[in-house]
Amino acid sequence: DAGVIQSPRHEVTEMGQEVTLRCKPISGHNSLFWYRQTMMRGLELLIYFNNNVPIDDSGMPEDRFSAKMPNASFSTLKIQPSEPRDSAVYFCASRPLDREQFFGPGTRLTVL
Amino acid sequence: GQQVMQIPQYQHVQEGEDFTTYCNSSTTLSNIQWYKQRPGGHPVFLIQLVKSGEVKKQKRLTFQFGEAKKNSSLHITATQTTDVGTYFCAGNYKLTFGKGTLLTVNP
């Protein structure tokens, strides 16, 4: 099993540009989570999906952030327009029912 | 909403010393999970505790869940350099993570 796959692994962009982060969860896992990690704020849950349906997006910082899960094997997190304060490592994680989370390697985003 | 606090935020030890990190929740937890993140890596699951007062061991690591299911601890006996990393606790289904405890070990 390849584990959770995230792309790109690194992204450098300029303020105002659109950024799309991608995640392929582990096959058979029914929940998917997007996290943001910074030194100041730690690991923050942005949104999570259950069976492709967004359940809780209260952690999404503002309207510039959006997430979709069109099918069980793919999810995107989009930031439009991006700002320097969005610079962070973004993790995607998936989990089977009532089990532990499996994290992807993360995408390190730098917004200049 | 639910908050999970971890202390200490940082801990530096000499190799061979013991280490403990504590996790406290503002609400009763149905379960708690512990994760370890190596520098530059991603969080990796260590263990889940479900029952009140539960104690689990993994080699040199001992995990406890409080009787009231509002706190938990991770104790490492005789730390090694391979123990370096950030240890996170996370509670309930949504997994609200604490800020973690960064452990550094001096060889």
Is B94 in Cβ contact with A43 (below 8 Å)? no
B44 contacts on A by Cβ (under 8 Å): 103
Is A101 in Cβ contact with B45 (below 8 Å)? yes
Q: Which residues contact B95 (CB under 8 A, 6 or more apart)?
A: A33, A45, A101, B33
Distance CA A15, CA A111 (A): 6
**Closest Cβ–Cβ partner in B44, B88, B94 for A43:** B88
A104 contacts on B by Cβ (under 8 Å): 42
Q: How many residue contacts between A and B have a Cβ separation below 8 Å?
A: 40
Q: Strands A19-24, A107-111: parallel, antiparallel or unpaired by DSSP?
A: unpaired
**Closest Cβ–Cβ partner in A45, A56, A100 for B45:** A100
Query: How much is the pLDDT for B93?
Result: 64
Name residues of chain A where pLDDT drops below 50.
Answer: none
Torsional class of B45: left (φ above 0), alpha (ψ -120 to 50), beta (otherwise)? beta
What pLDDT tens digit does each residue of chain B (107 aa) get?
Answer: 667 889 999 999 999 999 999 999 988 999 999 999 999 999 999 999 999 999 999 999 999 999 999 999 999 999 999 999 999 999 876 677 878 999 999 99
Residue whose C-alpha is closest to residue B72's, from B27, B34, B17, B19? B34
Query: How much is the pLDDT for A40?
Result: 87
